Amino acid sequence: MTDATGTTGTTGTTGTTGTTGTTGTTGTTDTAVKPALRPGLALGVLAGALALDVSGLGVLNAALPSVGARFDLDETTLQWVMTAYAVTFAGFLLVGGRLADVLGRRRVFEVGVALFTVSALVGALAPDTAVLLGARAVQGIGAALSGPAALALLTETFPAGPARNRAFSVYAAVGAASFSGGVMLGGVLTQFLGWRSVLWFSVLLGLAVLAATRAGLPGGAGHSGRLDLPGAITGTLGLTLLIVGVSSDGATAWIVLGAAVASLVLFVVREHRTADPVLPLGLFRIRSVRAASLAAFLQYMGSVGLLFFAPLYLQGMLDYSPFESGLALVPMSLAVFLTANFATGRLLARFTPRTLMAVGLVLIGGGAALWLGTPHDGGYVQYVLPGLVLSGIGQGLNFPSMTSAGLTGVPARQHAVAGAVNVVAQQIGASAGVAVMVLVAATSTDQLTGYHLAYLTAAGACVLGAAVIAVRRQA
């Protein structure tokens, strides 16, 4: 993506912009944009796939008690209904990005959406826990294939300038709103139609995306190269173990994290030596990529952490039902969607992504900080709503900006894997952030005080990250 392109695609802070046919910071020329014959349909297909991927993590959140009751699961086992998806999603992202760059974006996109849809169907019909957990894990692999390919297809389909700015704003708005929206939708569907309806909804949306893919998206062959199998194995294993480790506790967590570090060290050594790396390590020499990864990590740490504690507070202390706690999160989703869709695209024409990322993270941190005043029996409008809205505005500013920055200066042939790097940072931020905030909350014997310490941790991390991004000039 471009850095600070306006409606005329002008030069931003990193040099000449435009990743699809113009010269980037590398000084090389890549493949040309293939404009969509039906741009509205193309954008709908890509945004729909993104909604599938992102909401897949949160849509079953409100349904967990019903799933636990159906299969008689304790809390330790029940969490894997969520974690199984997150683990494979994060673990296979780099492989998905590399496959999309090598084999062709639309081809890998279709395979990913199809795999997600079929596994959702299996989960909806699951007769026991093993089948449900297996289906959720395969859903994560499908999302890891389609997600990076979708982001690369967006830059292939829409030329730099007003068309891409608008498309990117809509795409990012859907992505940024999909997690909290998925939590809300899951609560509504579970309350009225049962927990299996949540997965049936994913099946229907997946089928709709697949039906429109060929008509909406351009085809095209992949770039020259091959998939480095040793690198794919060590990288996928390392990322998978990393997510499992931060989602575990006790001695098991340290053992798994140690294995993750060992696998990732082997992965880095391999990537240095191979001519066709799964992850070109040179990406991290681009400051905008590093800043975008930090922003992605912190946004998901702050926002997912807040959403993790939201139902605990709303249901446990304010006596909300699951349906009511789901509806209570709607203002955050609306704030994200409206900000990303109607404001951030215009602001990116005037300011660099670095500026908007810093501002967005401050607002996300501010939203968490506002929850420091939540009492045991406080009113929703006075104590809960302001933090949700402020955090939502911050997410709406940060999500498009960090995704744009994550592709700035990256050759077009590496857009899918660069997009995968950003999503990996998001998933690690979500998993590690929740784990850290839960650990911090547990240091207090008073439950509400523990929640407040968790909010303070998220706020401090976001503000500190914003300061780091603000003072470092992107390259």
- The answer, yes or no, to whether residue 224 has pLDDT greater than 80, is no
Mean pLDDT of 105-133: 93
Burial of 211 per CB tally in 10 Å (0-12, 13-18, 19+)? exposed
Using one digit for the tens of pLDDT, what is the confidence trace for 37-58? 678 888 889 988 988 888 877 7
Question: How far apart are the C-alpha atoms of 104 and 96, rounded to whole Å?
Answer: 11
Using one digit for the tens of pLDDT, what is the confidence trace for 77-95? 777 787 788 788 888 888 8
pLDDT at 207: 95
pLDDT at 13: 34
- The answer, yes or no, to whether residue 339 has pLDDT greater than 50, is yes
Where does the pLDDT of residue 76 fall: very low under 50, low under 70, confident under 90, or very high at 90 and above? low
Task: For 12, list phi and psi in degrees, rounded to 5.
Answer: -100, -160
User: Which of 52-56, 142-146, 196-200, 359-363 has the lowest average pLDDT?
Assistant: 52-56
Question: How far apart are the C-alpha atoms of 466 and 258, rounded to whole Å?
Answer: 30
pLDDT at 125: 94
* CA-based nearest residue to 299, from 439, 174, 393, 166: 393
Question: How far apart are the C-alpha atoms of 201 and 186, rounded to whole Å?
Answer: 10
Dihedral Cα 220, 225, 227, 232, nearest 10 deg: -110
Mean pLDDT of 335-341: 86
Which residues have CB under 8 Å from 410's CB, separation 6+? 19, 24, 283, 286, 289, 418
- The answer, yes or no, to whether residue 395 has pLDDT greater than 80, is yes
pLDDT at 69: 82
Please say whether the beta carbons of 116 and 159 come within 8 A.
no
Of 173 and 370, more confident: 370
- Measured at the CA of 166, the angle between CA 162 and CA 170, to 5 degrees, comes to 170
Mean pLDDT of 225-237: 83
Question: How far apart are the C-alpha atoms of 55 and 59, rounded to whole Å?
Answer: 5
Give me the amino acid identity at 333: S
